[in-house]
Structure formats: structure tokens, C-alpha cells
Chains A and B, each alone.
Chain A
Amino acid sequence: GENVEQHPSTLSVQEGDSAVIKCTYSDSASNYFPWYKQELGKRPQLIIDIRSNVGEKKDQRIAVTLNKTAKHFSLHITETQPEDSAVYFCAARNTGNQFYFGTGTSLTVIP
């Protein structure tokens, strides 16, 4: 099955700085890569996604890049704010429509 690795496991940044989280996947047939934000005690919620026919996608302060050849994708958050503090999960969806998740990155934005 698919194996998704995520780094770093924890990340602390000063407010206003950028944060980058990186993931790799193993199944070259995976075709969709969502990123979820999970606040303490709450459900994971989609913040941005990218499909395999696109190399980059941006939504305001959040961007995602995908390198299909290297099988890795990254989340970039610019101008971080305290409310960005949460756990972020990357995921890869394979052709069977199964989602496999990374181990999560706990982001802390220091005011």
C-alpha cells in the first residue's frame, strides 16, 4: 500500500515568518494530495489540495507544490499568524480512492 512520510514532526516559527512542511509518498499512481489542519480535539479539515496534473497551487497565504518525479509535495504557509498553530497532516489518495496520511506536524506560531 501507500506509505506517506512527513517532516518535521514539530515546527516553531515566529509570527510573520514562513513555515514549510514536507511529505513524500511511495505509490507513483497516487493522484491527489490534500492537506488537513487539525486543532486540538477537533476534526481534520481540508485547507488546500493538489491534483497530480498540477505542479503548484496557491490560496492566499497557503501554497502547495508537487514533484511527481521525486514523489514529494510540500505545504508552505507565509506570514504565519498565531491562529495557524495546529497539527497539519498531508495525505495521498491512491487509485483505489484510499487516503493515506502522514504522521503530522505540530506547528506553533510564537507571537
Chain B
Amino acid sequence: EAGVAQSPRYKIIEKRQSVAFWCNPISGHATLYWYQQILGQGPKLLIQFQNNGVVDDSQLPKDRFSAERLKGVDSTLKIQPAKLEDSAVYLCASSYQNTAGIGGWTEAFFGQGTRLTVV
């Protein structure tokens, strides 16, 4: 099956500029996640969607970050305005529910990520 698609792969912007990232999850995956991975650290959850609804955005800096998944498929993550500390890889992941195991949900499948450099 096709994997999680993200674009662009790389982006360099100046501080205070805006940037947007796009994600297309694996077909049929109802849950979509955006993670921020700063160099040398583990992925940090920013926001979780279930279909087109937000399940958890408690760690999303809402003064500058926004995300949407209008039709329950593709998603965009926006930063406006960007700060130097936003330099990181932004990973999109998706998962789906099956009937196996406790909870019934699969692992998270990750995209290649977008490497953002803010200068």
C-alpha cells in the first residue's frame, strides 16, 4: 500500500514568515497525527485528528500553529509567524482501527517528514 505522503521535504524560511506543510495519510486511516521532532529528540505530538475532528491539540502552540483536516483525509499544518525554535522535522503519521488486539488500533505509520529551517 502507498505510505503517508508529505510535502515539501525541505523548507527554509526567515523568522516571522509563514509556512505550510501538507500530509496525505494512508487511504482509510481515520486518525492523523502531526509531530514535531527537534534534532536529537523524540517526536512530540502536536495535534491528533480523528476523521475531520480534533481529538487532542493540547501541545499545539496555538498562538502561531494551526492545523486542519477539512474532509477527513489530507491535512495541513501552518506556522505563522515562524520562530527560530520552530526549526525541526515535522512528521505526519496515521493509524486505523482494526479488530485485533486491545483497543483495536494499529501502530502509527509515518511519512518522510518536512525538514524546516528558520533563519
Whether a CB of chain A sits under 8 angstroms from the CB of B25 is no
Q: Nearest Cβ distance between residue A100 and chain B, in whole angstroms?
A: 7
Please tell me if the beta carbons of A51 and B101 are within 8 angstroms of each other in the complex.
Answer: yes
Binds A, one of B11-19, B40-48, B64-72, B73-81: B40-48
Most chain A beta-carbon neighbours within 10 Å: one of B33, B41, B91, B107: B107
Please tell me if the beta carbons of B110 and A32 are within 8 angstroms of each other in the complex.
Answer: no
Q: Which residue of B lies closest to A52 (CB)?
A: B102
Please tell me if the beta carbons of B107 and A102 are within 8 angstroms of each other in the complex.
Answer: no
Within 8 A of B (CB), among A1-58: 1, 4, 6, 31-32, 34, 36, 42-46, 49, 51-53
Whether a CB of chain B sits under 8 angstroms from the CB of A67 is no
Whether a CB of chain B sits under 8 angstroms from the CB of A69 is no
Within 8 A of A (CB), among B34-65: 35, 40-45, 48, 50, 55-56, 58
Contact partners of B111 in chain A: CB under 8 A: 43
- Taking Cβ atoms with an 8 Å cutoff, the residues of B that contact A are 3-4, 31, 33, 35, 40-45, 48, 50, 55-56, 58, 91, 93, 95, 101-103, 105, 107-113
Please tell me if the beta carbons of B43 and A97 are within 8 angstroms of each other in the complex.
Answer: no
Contact partners of A1 in chain B: CB under 8 A: 58
Contact partners of B35 in chain A: CB under 8 A: 101
Please tell me if the beta carbons of A99 and B41 are within 8 angstroms of each other in the complex.
Answer: no
Please tell me if the beta carbons of B101 and A97 are within 8 angstroms of each other in the complex.
Answer: no
Known contacts A4-B42, A43-B111, A101-B44; 11 further A-B pairs (Cβ under 8 A):
A31-B102, A32-B103, A42-B112, A43-B3, A45-B110, A53-B102, A91-B108, A96-B48, A96-B55, A97-B31, A103-B42
Bound-complex Cα distance A92 to B59 (A):
17
14 contacts between A and B (CB under 8 A): A6-B42, A31-B102, A32-B101, A32-B103, A34-B108, A42-B112, A43-B3, A43-B110, A46-B107, A53-B102, A97-B31, A97-B55, A99-B45, A103-B41
Bound-complex Cα distance A42 to B4 (A):
13
Bound-complex Cα distance A31 to B44 (A):
19
Bound-complex Cα distance A52 to B103 (A):
10
Please tell me if the beta carbons of A97 and B42 are within 8 angstroms of each other in the complex.
Answer: no
Contact partners of A98 in chain B: CB under 8 A: 33, 45, 48, 55-56
